[in-house]
Amino acid sequence: GAVVSQHPSWVICKSGTSVKIECRSLDFQATTMFWYRQFPKQSLMLMATSNEGSKATYEQGVEKDKFLINHASLTLSTLTVTSAHPEDSSFYICSARKDILLNTEAFFGQGTRLTVV
């Protein structure tokens, strides 16, 4: 299967600072990438859909000014958590799909565990 890589795998930051998480599709081009977050013992919650070269589409209740998403190339999308606070501590996961084929599966990164102290 295709490979999606996230970096970093884990990060600890101080409250008030910003953190950038990268999501790369290593062996395919991804027009569309998705960002999720997951709290302990809960399911994945979709945050936004990221389209290459255009603005991300955020799910209801997700603050677009706090979670900045950039999809500048077909292989890279970034999520920046701005002015992070302890309640932003979570497991952030990206996924990407090969849009050249219809109804193909989405591949997920390994996730990034963010801890804000």
Partner 1 sequence: DAKTTQPPSMDCAEGRAANLPCNHSTISGNEYVYWYRQIHSQGPQYIIHGLKNNETNEMASLIITEDRKSSTLILPHATLRDTAVYYCIVRAPLYNQGGKLIFGQGTELSVKP
Binding site for partner 1 (CB under 8 A): 1, 4, 6, 32, 34, 36, 43-46, 49, 51, 57, 91, 93, 95, 97, 99, 102-103, 105-111, 113
How do the residues of the chain divide into helix, strand and coil, expressed in percent and rounded to 5? 5, 50, 45
Shortest reach from residue 81's CB to partner 1, in Å: 18
Structure tokens at 33: 């990438």
Is the CB of 102 or the CB of 117 nearer to partner 1? 102
- 52 vs 82, beta carbon nearer partner 1: 52
Classify strands 90-97 and 76-81 as parallel, antiparallel or unpaired.
unpaired
Closer by beta carbon to partner 1, 67 or else 109: 109
Do strands 45-51 and 32-38 pair parallel, antiparallel, or not at all (unpaired)? antiparallel
